[in-house]
Chain A
C-alpha cells in the first residue's frame, strides 16, 4: 500500500498546526497546537481522505513526574546470565516522548470505519492555562469524555455546554489523576477519614 501516513497528510494539510509526528509500535501519532484542535478534528471527520467518524477515546496524561522516579532497584535480571531490562535496550525506533515541556497532554483516538484506520492526536496543554477548545459540537461522545478529563485532570474545555464533575462528587476538591494528588487522600462526605 502506498497510502501516505495519516500523520504526513495532516502535516501537509496543516503545516502550521503540527508540532511533531511519530509512529511507535504501529500507532500513528500526531501532536498539534492546542488552538487548532477544532479545525483539525473537523477536517478529520469531514475530509474524504480521513473519514474519522468515531471518536474512540479522549483522555489526558499528566507528564509532570515523567521519568523522574528512580528506575527501579535492580538494573539487571540475574537469571543465570545478566539480562538487560527491556527499558535499557536501545530501540531501533524509539519513542520520542512528549513533544513539548507542557504538563498535560490531551490525547484523542480517532477511528475511521469506512477506511479502517486509526490516528492518535495529542495536544499539549500548559499547566498555567489548562484550557483547550471543546470538540463536543463535532462528536456527541466528546461531551462526557471532556467532563471526565475536567474531573480527573482539571483541564477546562472552552465551549463545553455542561462542564461539571462526572465521576467524583461536586464537593470533591482537586483532580485525582493529577500526579500530585496523593492516592489515599480521601474526602469523605460522611464518616471518618480513614
Chain B
C-alpha cells in the first residue's frame, strides 16, 4: 500500500510546502523603476493577494521572500547583503527586473552586475521593468519551488526533469 517509509514525511513536506507557498510574507526591497511595476502588481488591478503574497512586511525578520526590485549599485550592495543575512530561514530571494538579474544595460562602474554575485537567488524575473503578468508568473514559479522544498528548508537538488518542468511555465 505504502510507497515506503518516506510516505509520512514526504506527505508532511507536501503539506508544509503547500502552507508556505500560499502565505508568503514579502519584503519589497524597492530601489528603482521596477518599484512602479511592483506597485502596480501589488495593487488592485493585478492583485498579488490572489497568490497569498499580499502583505508586504518592511522588516527582514518578519519576511520570507525578499523581492529585490530595481538596480543595485555598489553603494547599496552591502545593505542588500545585510538585509539578506537578517532574514530567517526558510527564505527565498527573487531578482525582480533585469538590473538585478544581470545588471541590464547599466554596464558601468556603479552597478552590480547581477545580485547573484552577492546573494543567492531563487527566481529571476527579467524585464525592464517586467510587466505585472510576468511578475505573477515568476511568483508562481517561486511557489512551485517552495512546494518542492523539504520541510526542513533544505533546497532539493533539481533534476533535469525539474528544470524542464520549470521551463515549461515560461510564457
Contact = CB atoms under 8 A, between A and B. Distances in A.
Contacts, number: 38
Interface residues on B, range: 10 to 19
Interface stretch (A49-57, A134-142, A176-184): A176-184
A152 to B, nearest CB: 11
Q: Name B's interface SS.
A: loop
Q: Chain A: interface residue count, which band? A: 10 to 19
Contacts of B74: 169, 186-189
Interface string B56-83: 0000000000000000001101100100
Contact of B108 (A169, A183, A188, A192): A183
Given A176-B110, A182-B109, 20 more contacts: A168-B110, A169-B75, A183-B107, A184-B107, A184-B108, A184-B109, A186-B109, A187-B109, A188-B74, A189-B74, A189-B75, A190-B78, A190-B81, A191-B77, A191-B112, A191-B117, A191-B118, A192-B117, A194-B114, A194-B117
8 contacts: A168-B110, A176-B109, A181-B109, A183-B109, A187-B109, A189-B74, A189-B77, A190-B81
Interface of B: 74-75, 77-78, 81, 107-110, 112-114, 117-118
